[in-house]
Structure 1
Amino acid sequence: MLKNKIFIIIMAIVLSLIVIYNIRFFSQRKRMKNLSPATKAAEETLNLVKPRPRIGKDSLPAKKEPLSPFWGRNPFLLSGEEKLGKSFFLTSPSEEKTPTIETPENKQKENEWSLTAILFSDTSSLAIINHEIVKEGDTLAGGKVKVIKIMPEKVILGKEKETFILQLGIIVPQETNLNEEEKK
């Protein structure tokens, strides 16, 4: 019961302070309207806190005008892209603007081994042979050839009793074996 009385007293004090503050605030506005312009200017200079002007929709420009691209094309678009509205559409570039690069075809024959890359580590090593990712113990060519060992610069393959060495960037025919290479 005592807590309720204290709460009511505190609320009454807060409400009375709010009413007193608002009476002073509104009476100053009425008093400012009745004063001469010189007195209003003097009182405004005495106020330390100046009211900020309110920015509303009326004070903002109606529509932002896009900046004209004086530098030419948009550097963030790929060639052949044009901005239409809010979405991007890919247009086919003309034949004469598209550079063409002629490269010799390096097609690998079916009867050749090609070691493209090696990822070597102490725990698990991987190699890319004929576009396949393999590790030690995996089989190639339909289970006929087994990856025996992967080293930092070469891979040893085994087929029955024969072994083959593949080195990076060298294409080896599938019939070549290790014993013939060592004799030569």
Structure 2
Amino acid sequence: MPTTKTLQLSKYVRMVLENELKLTCKEFDEEDIKALLKKSNRECTPRETIQGYPSYPLYREIGNMLQQWMEKRYCPALDLPKYDLLDEKSYAESREANFKSITPLLDGLQTLWEDWNDEEIAYRVKEIMIHDVYILEVRQEEGYGARWTADGSSFRGFLEPQMVDGHSVGWKH
């Protein structure tokens, strides 16, 4: 009897974060990455809903929520309570639009993951994870440049000219 493999997104969330620590030009803040990877001394069961406190390690919770979203085609964050006294209408609308743009990426991941290797799956997971981090990237004619968050509050790093197959070598020249 053939065994049925299932995609475990928490494995790839961890892989994305561990790979991110090795890069010189990071998409995520290094302290945030370390906090997401930090393990707990006690055994925790991943949550079945978005309600309540997350269990550790946090990367597993992110993977678990993405897994539920992929399998149910419904974002667990939509189950968070609404606060009528707060004016969150514009935020809720932009969040919903963002969720609608992520769901097709998860559909593609669920459909094609068996045809991809671990690096390709991790690349797709990273694409989903950084979906709402807007970055301003400025380059000069030769390709060198710098990167900030779109609001200018955080410098993200210097850039070197783009290279063929750069993602496969961690963008190291």
- TM superposition score normalised by structure 2: 0.19
More strand by percentage? 1
Q: TM-score, normalised by structure 1?
A: 0.18
Q: Which has the higher contact order (CA 8 A, sep 6+)?
A: 2
Question: Comparing both structures, which one devotes a greater share of its residues to helix?
Answer: 2
Larger Rg: 1
